[in-house]
Each structure stands twice: as structure tokens, then as C-alpha cells.
Structure 1
Amino acid sequence: MSSGPVELSLNGVYYPPWLLAALLGFVLAIALAALANRTGLSRFVWHPPLFFTALVIACTVLVGATLVPSFFG
């Protein structure tokens, strides 16, 4: 039995826990993309929108797996 949240309540409106993970993953991806632009690492990226999409997905899975225990099951 998982002890993670089943749903999040905000003023009586229920949201799934992966929505919070997706929002945090998006914010983390924006921060990482800004850091890559500032340091010049983004010049090695062939297709920036595709890379940013993959970065958002990776950050969402990372945040979901660490902060939301019920994310994978």
C-alpha cells in the first residue's frame, strides 16, 4: 500500500499528483535551459525546441519519482 497522495485539493478542486510534478519539472527545465544559454552549452543542441521538450519530460519524471511516491504505481 502506497502512502503517497492520491489527489491534491486546492479550494475544493482535486488535482492529480502528477500535475504538481509536471509544473515543477517545467520550472526546473526552464532554469536548466537558462543556465545552458548563459554558459554557452546550448550551442551544442541541434534542435532547441525538441531538446527543451525532452528536458521537460526528463525533469518531470525526475521530480515525480523523487517527490511523489505514487507517481509510478
Structure 2
Amino acid sequence: MTVFERHRWSIKQNANPQKIITLARSRDGIEAIRIRNRPVWATQFHPEVGQGNDGKTVINNFLELAAQYNCVKS
């Protein structure tokens, strides 16, 4: 997947792999994570910017997960 990144900020290493799942890496470090057993995802890149549909796929998947979580919690 190709995504847009305006900076070189990233997480260098996963300090707590028992709680944090690394989802994506670049040559600079960790670019996306998920917190185990919680509805928390984070990216360090910009899925809303870029060429192609990769970023749109990331956003659509996130929205689908959020909707599923809300249905379970309702």
C-alpha cells in the first residue's frame, strides 16, 4: 500500500507489544497501530491524501469498524 506522509515522524519501536499491535511500518518506523482489546487505531501517515484508492480503503475500513463497534455497544 502506498500512502502519503508529509514528515518523518514515526514510532521507532513498539514499547508494549502485549497491548499494542503494529499494523504498518515504513523505513522510518511504525506508521499504524491498534490497541489490543480496545476500539483504538492510530496512523502516523495521512490516509486522506494521496493518489489511488489505498487511503480511501483505510478510511472506509475504519468507518466500518467504528459502525460495527457502535452496533455492538448500542
**TM-score (structure 1 length as normaliser):** 0.31
Query: Per chain length, whose mean CA-contact separation is higher, i.e. which structure has more relative contact order (CA < 8 Å, sep 6+)?
Result: 1
Q: Which has the higher strand share?
A: 2
**TM-score (structure 2 length as normaliser):** 0.31
